[in-house]
Structure 1
Amino acid sequence: MVDSVILYRAPSTVVETDELGDWLESRIEGSVTVRDRFLDVHGNDELAERFAQVRVRSPHDRETGNTMLGTVRYEERALEDPEREGGVLYDGVQIQRALNAALPADERGLETLHLPILDRAIGTWGSHDGRWHKRVNVLGQPALVSVPGLYEAPAKPESYYKEQQRHAFLSGDTPPREVLENQVDGEFLIEDDPRTTDALKGYALQAYHYLETGEAFCDREGCRLFNAHYHEDLIDAQLREPLFCPDHDRVYGDS
């Protein structure tokens, strides 16, 4: 049984971690504590090289890693100053293992869920289609929640990709993301979206729910425990009423 959750801040993002923690504590049986950034609290000299080892090389290359000195130095700088990190995708499962190993031995038990909010993009390998897929979260211990993943992992409306192709056809290059976000109608979250904290509440609860019950996600669209693959579904699940399907409302709802 999970009797406590430790949330870790991501100070380089817009996430209000204290608000996220208060919401989560109001839904679960255990207590929720907020700590500073995981990599500051539990960082060690090995993490920079571990991060370099699990960098995704290309979308269709299963092998990861680049431990050349320059890459390790980059990771060292990113650990010290997270504002300098960006544009890199990491193997989420391997990051999870690295962060688990960084936990003190007496904090690795499953009665306490560690939940770092990350300012890095994480992915998992899809053996069914031979490519990497960005993720919002990776469940387990610790459970990872990626803020860039919230914006980038779910597919955007079809009109977004049509405009992207049109721009590429006319100009020969891919338009900046900001240009597309301003030109395309449709509902999707963008970087530093003011709805970020609200949208991540369900993903934090998914992490608790998995460790508590062994159930990964809810298969009912519109439930905060639903694993949305499209931005429209994400918004429907995380930002609209009702909060939960009937089954999960009995566990996590207000009634």
Structure 2
Amino acid sequence: MVEQVTLYRAPTAAADADAIADWVAGRVDAEVDVRDRFLSQYADDDLPEELADGRVLDPYDRETGNTMLGIVRYEERAIENPERAGGVIYDGLELQRLLHRRLPDAARSLDHLHVVLLDRVVGTWGDHDGRWHKRVNVLGHPAIVSVPGLYEAPAKPEQYYKEQQKHALLTGDSPPREVLENEVEGDFLVEDDPRTTDALKGYVLQAYHYLETGEAFCDEASCRLHNPHRQPGVVEAQLRAPDFCPRHAERYR
């Protein structure tokens, strides 16, 4: 049984860890606390090279890693200055392993769930189609919740990408959120979306639910424990009533 949940902040991301923790604490029978950024607390001399070794280099190549000196130096700078990180996908399972190794021995028990809010994009390899897939979260111990993954992993409406390309050709820049919302039908989240914190609450609860019950996700599209592959599904599951399907509403009030 999970007795304690520790949530780690992602200071460069539009995610309020304290608000997420308060929401989760009202629904689980565990103590919930918030700590500062995981990589700031537990980084060591080996971490930059291990991060470089976990980089996805090609969306269709299972092999990862580039430990050339310049890449390792980039990872060193990104640990020190997280606002400089970006544009890289990491093997989520490998990242989970290297974060687990850095947990203090006393904190590794399965009754203490660690959830790392991360300002980096993570992915998992799909054996069924031979390519990497971006993910919002990687369940396990510790669990990873990727804030940029919330915007990038679930697919947006096709028209979104067309409007984005059109705007980029004309201006050389990404269009403002308001422009895309006006031009594209359907609801979706974009970088630094003000709904980020609310949307991530369910993904953090999924980490607790998995460690507590062994159940990964809920099949009901209207439940916060659902894991949709498209942005409109994220909006339905995380931002619209009801919060839970009847089965999980009974458990999580």
Structure-1-length-normalised TM-score: 0.93
Where 2:175 maps in the other structure, the secondary structure is: helix
For residues 127-138 of structure 1, the aligned pairs below 5 Å read 127-138=127-138
C-alpha contact (below 8 Å) 2:164/2:174 kept by paired residues: no
The correspondence of residues 239-254 of structure 1 with structure 2, limited to 5 A, is 239-253=239-253
- 1:137 partner amino acid: N
Deviations 1:220-240 (A, max 9, x none): 101000001110000000000
- State the distance in 2 between where 1:139 and 1:175 align: 37
1:160 aligns with 2:124: no
Distance 2:172 2:53 in 1: 31
- Structure 1: how far apart are the matches of 2:176 and 2:80? 31
- 1:235 corresponds in structure 2 to 235
Distance 2:147 2:171 in 1: 23
Q: How far apart, in 2, do the equivalents of 1:161 and 1:30 lie?
A: 42
Q: Quote the RMSD (CA, aligned, Å).
A: 1.9
CA contact (8 A) 1:115 1:144 kept: yes
Compared CA separation, residues 240 and 7, structure 1 to 2 (3 A): same
Q: CA deviation at 1:106?
A: 1.3
Aligned residues of 2:3 and 2:111 also touching (Cα < 8 A): yes
Paired residues of 1:164 and 1:175 also in contact (CA < 8 A) = no
Aligned length: 250
Structure 1: runs of 5 or more not aligned: none
**Secondary structure of 2:90's match?**
strand
1:13-47 Cα deviation digits (max 9, x unpaired)? 11111111000000100010100000112221111
Report the CA distance between 1:91 and its aligned residue.
Answer: 0.3
State the match for 2:175 in structure 1: 178
> Post-superposition shift, 1:61?
1.1
Is 2:52–2:65's contact at 8 Å kept on the other side of the alignment?
Answer: yes
Counterparts of 1:57-136 in structure 2, within 5 Å, are 57-136=57-136
Residue 161 of structure 1 deviates from its aligned partner by 3.4
Q: Is the 8 A contact 1:137 1:203 kept in 2?
A: yes
User: Using the alignment, how far apart are the partners of 1:93 and 1:178 within structure 2?
Assistant: 33
Distance 1:180 1:206 in 2: 28
Which residue of the partner structure matches residue 224 of structure 1? 224
The CA distance in 2 between the partners of 1:243 and 1:49, in whole Å, is: 41
- Percent identical across equivalent pairs? 61
Q: Is the 8 A contact 1:163 1:180 kept in 2?
A: no
Partner of 1:4: 4
The equivalent residue for 2:190 is: 190
Do the aligned residues in 2 keep the contact of 1:164 with 1:180 (CA within 8 Å)?
A: no
Distance in 2 between the 1:36 and 1:69 partners?
29
Using the TM superposition, give the Cα deviation of residue 181 of structure 1 relative to its aligned residue in structure 2, in angstroms. Answer: 6.9
Aligned mates of 1:28, 1:245 — CA distance in 2: 16
TM-aligned CA deviation for residue 120 of structure 1: 0.2
Q: CA deviation at 1:163?
A: 3.7
The gaps in structure 2 that reach 5 residues or longer are none
Instruction: Provide the rounded CA distance (Å) in 1 between the counterparts of 2:41 and 2:3.
Output: 21
- Structure 2 Cα separation of the partners of residues 98 and 231 of structure 1: 30
How far apart in 2 are the matches of 1:245 and 1:40? 37
- Provide the secondary structure at the position in 2 that maps to 1:178: coil
Kept after mapping to 1: 8 A contact 2:133/2:153: yes
Q: Which amino acid aligns with 1:213?
A: T
